[in-house]
Amino acid sequence: MSVVLKINESKQNFTQTEVKLSEYILSNVQEISNLSVQNLAELSNTSPATVIRFCKKLGYSGFQDFKIDLIKYTTNKEKSNLNVYEDITTKDNINQVMQKLSFQNIKVIEDTIKLLDGEAIQKAIDCIEQAERTYIYGVGASGLVAKDFQYKLMRIKKTVISYSDTHTQLALSANMEKGDVAIGISYSGRTLETYKAIEKANERGATTISITKYGKSPLSDIADINIYVAGGEQNIRVGAITSRIAQLTAIDVIFVGLAKNDFEKTAEYIRNTRSIVEDFKIKNKGRI
């Protein structure tokens, strides 16, 4: 994951002073590698302690470690367009809306792939593969992603349960057992219903997996395995568009990882589920 992406995806966890520092860094990426901690603190109107705390919050051991990653970023000439998730405005015509939406969706997929941790993904795949039952929790837009994931896993013969009703979700979590897997999907990582379900699943001895945006959150704090996605959305969101695309990207990666473990059987399961619904499709009529 690039240092610029890491900064952008961590903003919700910054203090006001750290936000000011991050904005200075993102506006002067090329120059930062030549600065000392003291220089950067003075130029950003912060303090050396803030600079060090900022670097550690991003996972670096200190400022020098941060600068090394920043140099790699500039050397690789990665694009650092800081407004890639451009807001759609009331002045946009439909062609501009289509262009902005398509760019946002493409960008969030690319950013999510950069954020996904292969080791965490593989652990999730192994847990679901070995699970007696897999429970998937999510409400609102994340609930739609949960249902999509449930459908995918059902098609490859996994025992998977997902309900949109929150009381039913909590009731299910109360009876989970060791050997079960509980997956909590919440872009913010702060959805109370999903948090409570995963908390109860932990108490019952189930393995828990979170799918949230990058950064510290209540849900990721209690899950055994954390899968982070990009989002590019602020607190005011239009239809949870990019977050949904990011979550779908993550579950697609997990699904394909599961499917390839035994490709022949998986292909057979998918053929079976496809053929059983073919009779319910309207056939094309020949033209007279």
Q: DSSP of 132-188, one letter per residue? A: S-EEEE--THHHHHHHHHHHHHHHTT--EE--S-HHHHHHHHHT--BTBEEEEE-SS
pLDDT of residue 85: 58
Instruction: Note whether 120 and 7 are same-domain residues.
Output: no
Phi, psi of 88 (to 5 degrees): -85, 130
User: Which residue, 57, 75, 93, sits at the end of a domain?
Assistant: 75
Task: For CA atoms 149, 151, 156, 162, give the dihedral sign.
Answer: positive
Residue 69 inside a domain? The answer is yes
Instruction: Note whether 196 and 126 are same-domain residues.
Output: yes
Q: Which residues have C-beta within 8 Å of that of residue 238, sequence separation ≥ 6?
A: 88
Instruction: Note whether 254 and 160 are same-domain residues.
Output: yes
Residue 29 tokens, joined: 């990426």
174 touches 204 (CB < 8 A): yes
pLDDT of residue 82: 45
Instruction: Note whether 70 and 117 are same-domain residues.
Output: no
For the domain that residue 63 is a member of, what is the CATH number?
1.10.10.10
Residue 100 inside a domain? The answer is no
Instruction: Note whether 32 and 122 are same-domain residues.
Output: no
Residue 93 inside a domain? The answer is no
pLDDT of residue 267: 83
Residue 282 inside a domain? The answer is no
Which region holds residue 212: left if phi is over 0, alpha if psi is between -120 and 50, else beta? Answer: beta
Instruction: Note whether 129 and 268 are same-domain residues.
Output: yes
pLDDT of residue 264: 81
Residue 98 inside a domain? The answer is no
Instruction: Note whether 119 and 60 are same-domain residues.
Output: no
237 touches 138 (CB < 8 A): no
User: Which residue, 75, 105, 127, sits at the end of a domain?
Assistant: 75
Mean pLDDT by 10 residues, the chain (288 residues): 83 91 92 92 95 94 92 67 62 86 86 92 97 96 96 94 92 94 96 96 97 93 96 55 92 95 83 82 66
Domains in the chain: how many in total? Answer: 2
Residue 81 inside a domain? The answer is no
Q: Which residues have C-beta within 8 Å of that of residue 242, sequence separation ≥ 6?
A: 85, 104, 105, 108, 230, 231, 232, 233
* Helix H or strand E encompassing 227: strand 225-229
pLDDT of residue 232: 62
Instruction: Note whether 232 and 118 are same-domain residues.
Output: yes
- Measured at the CA of 30, the angle between CA 26 and CA 35, to 5 degrees, comes to 95
User: Which residue, 75, 102, 132, sits at the end of a domain?
Assistant: 75
Residue 77 tokens, joined: 């000439």
Instruction: Note whether 71 and 119 are same-domain residues.
Output: no
Half-sphere exposure of 228 (CA within 13 A, CB side): 20
Distance CA 98, CA 69 (A): 35
For the domain that residue 190 is a member of, what is the CATH number?
3.40.50.10490
Residue 262 inside a domain? The answer is yes
176 touches 200 (CB < 8 A): yes
Contacts 24+ apart (CB under 8 A), 271-280: 273/154, 273/155
The amino acid sitting at 145 is V
Instruction: Note whether 236 and 131 are same-domain residues.
Output: yes
Instruction: Note whether 44 and 146 are same-domain residues.
Output: no
Instruction: Note whether 62 and 128 are same-domain residues.
Output: no
pTM beyond cutoff 0.85: no
Distance CA 181, CA 36 (A): 47
- Residue range(s) defining the domain that contains residue 140: 113-276
Residue 59 inside a domain? The answer is yes
